[in-house]
Amino acid sequence: MKPPRRWPRSTCRRRRRTRTEGAMVSSVCHGRIEEQLQTLETMARQRSAGMPDSAAEFAAKAVLRYFDTAGAQHQRDEDVDVFPLLRARAAALGRIEVAAAIDELEREHATVEAQWRRLRDALSAVATRREGARIDAGEAERFAWLYRRHMDREAQLVLPFAREALRPEERAELGARMAARRGAK
DSSP sequence for 131-173: TT----HHHHHHHHHHHHHHHHHIIIIIHHHHHHH--HHHHHH
Look at residue 123 and tell me if it is in a domain: yes
Look at residue 56 and tell me if it is in a domain: yes
What pLDDT score was predicted for residue 46?
85
What pLDDT score was predicted for residue 28?
73
Give the domain range for residue 149. 27-172
Look at residue 10 and tell me if it is in a domain: no
Percent of the chain with pLDDT over 70: 84
Look at residue 181 and tell me if it is in a domain: no
Q: How many domains does the chain have?
A: 1
Residue 77: pLDDT over 90: yes
Look at residue 60 and tell me if it is in a domain: yes
Look at residue 63 and tell me if it is in a domain: yes
Look at residue 120 and tell me if it is in a domain: yes
Q: Model-level pTM?
A: 0.81
Pairwise CA distance, residues 25 & 96, whole Å: 24
Residue 76: pLDDT over 70: yes
Look at residue 16 and tell me if it is in a domain: no
Best CA proximity match to 178, nearest among 107, 86, 82, 66:
82
What pLDDT score was predicted for residue 51?
67
Mean pLDDT value across residues 141-164: 94
Q: What is the mean pLDDT of the chain?
A: 84
Q: Model confidence over 15-53: pLDDT tens digits?
A: 444 434 444 556 678 899 999 999 999 999 887 777 678
DSSP for 116-128, written as a single string: HHHHHHHHHHHHT
CATH of the domain at 50: 1.20.120.520
